[in-house]
Amino acid sequence: MTTAQGPWRSTILTLYPEMFPGPLGLSLSGDALARRVWSLETRNIRDQGIGRHRSVDDTPAGGGAGMVLRCDVLAAAIDAATASDDPRPRLLMSPRGRPLTQARVRALAAGPGLVVVCGRFEGVDERVIAGRGLEEVSIGDYVLSGGEVAALVLLDSCVRLLPGVMGKVASGEDESFEGNRLEYPHYTRPRDWEGRAIPDVLNSGNHAAVARWRRAEALRITAERRPDLLAPGETDPAA
Ligand code: SAH
């Protein structure tokens, strides 16, 4: 489904365009890509590289290990990929960024799309971040070898929320992180398996009781595993 404003547009700046769409070319996101619910454009940063070798990196000022992506090369790549009136947020995948949340994913999925810069090496020259208005986004407190896998995570989380990608499930109101809760447990057939039965209430046909049980379980699991998600005073599942 293409909305009135056209598809949700993503542009990825990377040294490894072959990594895209990768896993996003399969399953729900791949079908949606084929149906033009969203679009994916990759730009090789090396196209703006310098000299015969199309060099994109250089040694860190002040010394130290590794290499740094040049600000002039990256800025040229961003400028070549985006018009000055491009309304899309420009993100830089970065372990220093604000950690990605489901709330942020929802906001990004509701917008026109994304321009995503994938870092490599030790990272990018700091000046291009301010110079091109890049917002740093992290997918978690660990270090990847490059921004591409992080960009795939970000895109996957956005694309599944686009209208028409997941069908009815997409409303996702019961899902983890909606309403600051982790999700309740799921079960399906067989009813008894290796001495473990599906909780009786789920077979009762009593929808109100099922809903109550699911709310209580979601709260119990969240309090146990991720009390940081709960508001103060919400921590006691018995409450
Ligand atoms: N020296 C940097 C890490 C560079 S890792 C530091 O210590 O902060 C190389 C690239 O991988 C980064 O520029 C970034 O684009 C990407 N990357 C690594 N970990 C990431 C994470 N947790 N979230 C998002 N991007 C990440």
Is residue 20 within 8 A of residue 114, CB to CB? The reply is: no
Decide whether any atom of ligand 1 lies within 6 Å of the 132 Cβ.
no
pLDDT digits (tens, 9 = 90+) for 229-239: 999 888 655 55
Better pLDDT: 13 or 3 = 13
- pLDDT exceeds 80 at position 4: no
Is residue 112 within 8 A of residue 87, CB to CB? The reply is: yes
- Distance from the CA of 226 to the center of ligand 1, in angstroms? 25
Decide whether any atom of ligand 1 lies within 6 Å of the 138 Cβ.
yes
pLDDT digits (tens, 9 = 90+) for 36-91: 999 999 999 999 999 999 999 999 999 999 999 999 999 999 999 999 999 999 99
Decide whether any atom of ligand 1 lies within 6 Å of the 12 Cβ.
no
What pLDDT sits at residue 178? Answer: 84
Residue range 158-172: mean pLDDT, rounded: 83
What pLDDT sits at residue 6? Answer: 85
Residue range 183-196: mean pLDDT, rounded: 98
CATH number of 174-229: 1.10.1270.20
Residue range 135-148: mean pLDDT, rounded: 98
Give buried/exposed letters for 44-56 (b at 16+ CB in 10 A, else e). bbbebbeeeeeeb
What pLDDT sits at residue 236? Answer: 58
Copy the structure tokens of residue 228: 């940081």
Per-chain mean pLDDT for the chain: 94
Sequence ranges of the chain with CATH classification 1.10.1270.20: 174-229
Contacts of 37 (CB under 8 A, 6+ apart): 1, 2, 7, 8, 159, 162, 163, 164, 165
- Distance from the CA of 70 to the center of ligand 1, in angstroms? 16
Decide whether any atom of ligand 1 lies within 6 Å of the 149 Cβ.
no
What pLDDT sits at residue 180? Answer: 92
Nearest residue (CA) to ligand 1, atom 12: 119
Better pLDDT: 168 or 158 = 158
CATH of 8-159, one of 3.20.20.10, 3.30.70.1140, 3.40.1280.10, 3.30.160.270: 3.40.1280.10
